[in-house]
Each structure stands twice: as structure tokens, then as C-alpha cells.
Amino acid sequence: MFNPPTELLPTATNQSGTRTAAVPSVGGRTGIARILLSRDTVMIYALVAFVIYAALFIPRFASPVSTGFLLLDVIPALLIALPMTLVIITGEIDLSVASIAGLTSALMGVLWGAGLDIGPVLIISLIAGVLAGAFNGLLVAVLGLPSLAVTIGTLALFRGLALVVIGDNAVANFPPALTSFFTSKIGGTGIPTVMIGVILVAIIFGVVLHLTPFGRGLFALGYSKEAAIFVGIKVVRAKFWLYVASGSVSALAGIYWTLRYSSARSDNASGLELTVIAAVLLGGVSIFGGKGAIPGAIAGVLLIGTINFTLRLGRISDVVLIIVTGTLLIASVVAPSIFEGVTKWLHARRHRRTLPQASASGATRATASGVQERK
Amino acid sequence: MEFIRYTKTRRTRRLLAFAAAAASVALVASGCASGGDAGTGGGAEGDLSITFIPKQLNNPYTDVVLGGGEDGATAAGFAATEVVGPLEASASSQVSFINAETQAGTSVIVIAANDPDAVGPALEEARAAGAKIVAFDSDTNPKYRDVFISQVIAKDVALIQIELLAEQIGGSGEIAILSATANATNQNEWIKFIEEELASNPEYAEISLVAKVYGDDDDTKSFQEAQGLLQAYPSLKGIISPTTVGIAATARYLSTSNYKGTVALTGLGLPNEMRPFVKDGTVTAFALWDPAQLGYVAAFAGKALADGTITGTEGDTFDAGDLGEREVGADGIVIVGPPTTFNADNIDDYDF
């Protein structure tokens, strides 16, 4: 458990050996194979496998109650993971998301406490999120400052503003009809009603990223900013709007958080940014940019959420949860790199051994190995 | 050889990533399985189970409260006792733990709420599933729980401090208060009661409160404030510090100065921190509630609720084991008892 790479490698190579033997064609992957074996599909397999495991072996897990509690818990992370995926694909990062959610929550509390109707309260809070995102966008996209530094700054800034706005107070008397709507479930399925909205947002982000020229531009941007500029992608504009989207969705998460827990406080959603980023990376989005997909990111969030939930159901301390999440993340990020390194090393070693032999024994042997290689 | 060559293909790299992910999940899963087995003990029909949800885990004060709670739960006859909770004391972090307990069918949930309202909907769901809710240490909104176990009455805390000090200075002279922050709710409430008592009780007519200073619950600042007090008021006879940080810092200053033994010091302190100063004669006596009793009474209140002996209405009484009988007061509040006074005779009996 504490040393995953060395433990994982033998299993992995064995498996790959048998698999390749079963599937003879080694050339370019066809459409279906590509989808079935992509990094994010693998995450979906892992998620499904874990859910099946939990349903079979964890007492009380297999029930609609689980679905409800689990989804209610992961919705904020799920929402924020969507714009985060796009932001990370462009090679940037947004660490201020949880603080924007906290600021939104604080603002909601103060406005509602001041006697405004819930409609204007929600709209103003959402606008605050848009503005916060635009501020990030201005600094990162327009002024070209490094996003890591900028959003570490705004992480503290927005959380600080939340404290200024609401102080140590908590506002809790939101309309009961609204708060109970936010925890309501669709019939007996256990699926929270709010999930409909979350799925809509997910579809929007999925379509934008995977089915539009703008989305393809984001991947290009992540691979190489210079190349993206040369092929006519409007880099500044794309990044600016991504941060606006990130701010807006964070505000939605903040509104959800406030109404789900019926408590507006300045410390709401604190620390959520790291959960989201961990889940997105686990979901196969490359921290270096240029790689990733919405379904993978969603699977990453759900996998961490489910592990979280089962550990609590088993009354295992949160300390274990942190260790598990960290280990998973490192394994998922490091394993491919280590594997690449090992392959290169093996390749080099093979060449060191075979080349002198080949020169010594003549042409027949060289052709033989050449044939083998092509197979 | 041949199989090494295949590992070069991209497909196998994908498979490797999959295997890595699968293996990681399996590792996690095996962790869960053992925990799941441990958890099943509490779900058995007919046996009562109790779960404590503190504000956060790994807090020294909370550990003492929970220690008392576990003793109480065993003494009260619960079949299973669990302690779960978040690592950070944030407002909504307790909700998913309450949900897990609802699902586990726990009979009694004892909670110290980080936010009186954020835990509300989850507690309502737990109650709908048949759980009894006992709040302790920090109350939830009263509509979400059956009873609240409160440490002490604020006035009692104030009175015992002035009583101890009056005794130590012989009933007359100048005194000062070294508090936490200027706007700390608890401390200001106690100080208000102390001032009222000084003004109204003829026994304290000879005592005058000359200064109130604030050490902000910061060790260094409290130390310097104590130093400043004694320089500014040379005839000062005693100091009350109603905060554990303040009293420890003041005691440290006094013990190294020539005021040791001549200027009295009392207030609210932790026995483990104050032990050396009681032993060396800097402090005669100080007070605090016993946090373990809080958990102990909470466990018995939970048992009485689960048995149906009490419903949490005013006037209900229940047996609290070694501590005797306790009564439910207005708003479903149960008072654990008067603050404990610590002095050279009994300080070694306490470890917190």
C-alpha cells in the first residue's frame, strides 16, 4: 500500500502480456478500442468495480439511502470539477474556487439577513461569483500572470472578503421550502432532485469541451500556447471566459452548500479546492495541460466520494481517508511515468544485449529480430 | 524477450494504468472490508448503540470529554460505542458523519455541534429513523435535539472564582482581571457576573476591582499583561484569570518574580498545566469543570432517552451512574454539576 509502483508493476506487465496475446492486432487502435481503453474509461471501470465491491461487501451500502447521501455530499465537488477540468486542460489552475463558494455563501447570508427576497439574493450571489471569476481571468489571461500565484492570492483574498462580509456570524433561517428542496430526492430512487441541474451543467461542459472548436482549442492551448496563437486560437479570450465559468460554477456550488446545510458561514466549503483538483487529476486530466476528459473527471470525483462514503460507513477515521486519497492520486499520476521510465530502460538494456550479438552472427539473425519486432 | 517488446505499445500502457488504478482500489477496498466488519457489531437488533460526534478529533480537551463518554456508555450498558468525527471543526463537516450513523441505525447520537443549524436537517433525518439526539459541549438549535448536556451554569463559574480569590486575599484589597480577548462571549459573561457580585454582596464590600486587561489567549501577551498589572498597581492583592491560557501565563510570571506567594492568583485552568504552580505555592486553588463528567452524563442521558425513561421535557430525572441523579431543566438543558476546585490535595487525581 505504501509503495504502489513496485507492487503494481509485476501484475501490470503480466496482464498486458496476456492481453496482447489474446488480441493479435497491435497496430493503430480502432475507434471503439480507443474509447474502451482510454484513461478516463479506465477510471469509469475503476468506479464501477469499486461500487460493485462496496455493494457486495460493505454492510448497508447497497440502498437508495446511500445514493442520496453520497450524491448530496459530492455535488459541490462534482460541479466545480467541470470548469476545473477545462482550466487544467489549458495548463492553468484555479485554487480560488472554494473561497469563491465561501464568499457566495457569506454574501447570501448577509443579503438574506438584511431582508432581501430570495430571488435577488440568489442572483446577486451568482453575480458575485461571476465577478470573482472575472477578476481571476483578468489577472491570469489579460495580464498574463501565473495562475498558481494569482489564485493562491485570490484563495486568501476571497476567503478574507467572506469574513469581512459576514464575520463570525452564521445565517440559518433560509426558507424551509427551499432548503428542503435542496435535500429532496426524486421519488424512491434516492437521487437528489438537484442532480438534474448538475447533470445539465455537466452536459454543457462536456459538449463545449469535446464537441466544439472552442473545446478543441483548449486542448491545443494546453499542449502549446505559442502554437495555439499561431493557428488563430484567441488565447486571452478563451482563458478569461474559463475563469469566469469557474467563478460562476463555484458560486452555484456555494449556493448549493448554503441551502443544503441551511447555514451561511464564511468557512463554508473550505479546503474543497484540493478535493476537486485531486479528483480531476485522478480522473486522468493531465496537470501539464492538453489531456483529459469530462467523463473521467466525473468518475474521479465519484470514486473519491464513494471511497469516502464507504470509509465513513465502516467508521474508519478520516485520517485513513486522507492517506488513501493521497496514495491513489500519487499512484495515478506517477505510475504511467514510472512505467515509461522502466520501458525505456528495458528497451535500452535489450539493445545493449542484442546489438553486439547481431553484429557478431551476421545478417540472418538481424532479419529474424527485425521480423519479430514488426509482429 | 517477446513480452517485453509488447510493453512498448501504447495499448499496454493503458492496460497498465488500468491495472494500477484497479490495484489501488483493491488496496482501499481491503481497508474498507476490515472496517466494515468492525462496524457490524453495533447494528445488531435489540442492542443499544451510541456514537459520539465531537467537534473535531485529536483535540486534547475533546479527548478527555470522550474518555468520560466511553466510560459512561459502558457503565450505562450500551452494547456498542463509537467515536467518529471530522479532523477540522468546520460548520458542515459533521453532516456526512451523522448520515452514516443514520444509515447504521445507531440508537443514540451524541454531538457537539460546530454549527447549531448546519447539522439540523441531518439530525432530523436521524431522528426520523429512530435515533435519540443528545447535544453536549456545544448546543444545536434546540428543535433538533432531545436534550443538551451543559457543563456548568455561567453564574456558578463566575461565583466560584470570586469566592476562591476573596478567601485567598482575606476578603479585602485591590484585585484585577486578566481575561482572554475583549469580545470573548464566555469570559465577558463571567466578568459581568463577577462585577455584579462584587457590587451587591456585602461580603465583598472591601474588595475593589481596579483593572481589566486582555491577554488575547496568547501566552506571551498574557505574560506581559500580568507583568504590567503588577507594575501599575503595586498594592494589588489578587488576580482572576478566567481563561486557561491567561492563568498559566500569569502563574509563570508570578512564580519567577518576588510577588510569588504574596499576590494571589485564581481562575480557570487545566490541572496538567497548573500542577507545577500549585506544587510550588504560586497558586493555592483554581477551578474548572471536569470535562470527563460531560461525556459521562451525556451517555447516561442517551441511555435514558433510548429506554424511554425520559423524553427530554423539563422536570424529567435520570440516573447518571456514579454522579447520582440529574434533572432536565428548561429547554431540555441538563447541567452536569458545579465547577470543580483544584488544590494541592486533589490536583494529582486529574489528568487533563
- Do β-strands B147-150 and B132-136 pair in parallel, antiparallel, or remain unpaired? parallel
Confidence check: pLDDT of A109 > 90: yes
* CA–CA distance, A83 with A247 (Å, rounded to integer): 9
Confidence check: pLDDT of B194 > 60: yes
* Residue A279 shares a structural domain with residue A353: no
Residues paired with B81 in a beta bridge: B50
Q: How confident is the model at residue A19 (pLDDT cuts 50, 70, 90)?
A: very low
Confidence check: pLDDT of A15 > 50: no
- Nearest chain B alpha carbon to A170: B115
Q: What is the DSSP string of A184-205?
A: -EETTTTEETTHHHHHHHHHHH
Host H or E run for residue B29:
helix B10-40
* Residue A365 shares a structural domain with residue A322: yes
Confidence check: pLDDT of A33 > 80: no
Confidence check: pLDDT of B178 > 90: yes
Residue that is written with C-alpha cell 486519497 in the block = A325
3-state secondary structure of B177: strand
Q: Is residue A1 a part of any domain in this protein? A: no
Contact call for A317 and B17, based on CB within 8 A: no
* Residue A339 shares a structural domain with residue A236: no
Please state, for a pLDDT cut of 90, what percent of chain A lies above it: 47
- In chain A, residues 78-137 whose CB comes closer than 8 Å to chain B: none
Confidence at residue B18, expressed as pLDDT on a 0 to 100 scale? 52
* CA–CA distance, B336 with B323 (Å, rounded to integer): 9
Q: Is residue A276 a part of any domain in this protein? A: yes
Q: Is residue A89 a part of any domain in this protein? A: yes
Confidence at residue A18, expressed as pLDDT on a 0 to 100 scale? 37
Contact call for A172 and B31, based on CB within 8 A: no
CB-nearest partner of B4 from A33, A327, A346: A346
What integer is the mean pLDDT of B83-107? 87
What integer is the mean pLDDT of A158-183? 88
pLDDT digits (tens, 9 = 90+) for B73-91: 999 999 999 999 888 777 7
Q: b/e string for B167-188 if b means 16 or more Cβ within 10 A?
A: ebbeeebbbbbbbbeeebeebb
* Residue A54 shares a structural domain with residue A69: yes
A328 touching chain B per CB within 8 A: yes
What integer is the mean pLDDT of B165-170? 93
CB < 8 Å to A26, chain B: 6, 9, 11
Confidence at residue A5, expressed as pLDDT on a 0 to 100 scale? 40
Distance from the A373 Cα atom to the nearest Cα atom in chain B, whole angstroms: 7
CB A308 within 8 A of CB A61: no
CA angle B131, B135, B137 (to 5 degrees): 155
A52 touching chain B per CB within 8 A: no
Confidence check: pLDDT of A338 > 60: yes
Distance from the A302 Cα atom to the nearest Cα atom in chain B, whole angstroms: 13
* Residue A199 shares a structural domain with residue A272: yes
What integer is the mean pLDDT of A153-172? 90
* Residue A196 shares a structural domain with residue A219: yes
- CATH code (residue A168): 1.10.3470
Q: How confident is the model at residue A322 (pLDDT cuts 50, 70, 90)?
A: confident
Confidence check: pLDDT of B13 > 80: no
- Do β-strands B340-343 and B285-288 pair in parallel, antiparallel, or remain unpaired? antiparallel
Confidence at residue B36, expressed as pLDDT on a 0 to 100 scale? 37
Distance from the A37 Cα atom to the nearest Cα atom in chain B, whole angstroms: 6
Which residues constitute the domain of residue A360?
318-375
pTM of the model: 0.72
Domains in chain A, number: 2
pLDDT digits (tens, 9 = 90+) for B283-340: 999 999 888 899 999 999 999 999 999 998 999 999 998 888 889 988 899 998 788 8
* Residue A329 shares a structural domain with residue A201: no
Interface test mutation site (partner A, options B1, B9, B11, max chain A beta carbons within 10 A): B11
CB-nearest partner of B20 from A319, A335, A373: A335
* Residue A208 shares a structural domain with residue A242: yes
Q: How confident is the model at residue B46 (pLDDT cuts 50, 70, 90)?
A: low
* Residue A92 shares a structural domain with residue A125: yes
* Residue A336 shares a structural domain with residue A227: no
What integer is the mean pLDDT of B171-188? 86
Q: Quote the mean pLDDT of chain B.
A: 84
C-alpha cell at A213: 472548436
- Do β-strands B236-241 and B264-267 pair in parallel, antiparallel, or remain unpaired? parallel
A33 touching chain B per CB within 8 A: yes
Lowest mean pLDDT among A36-50, A128-142, A201-215: A36-50
CB < 8 Å to B84, chain A: 312, 315, 317
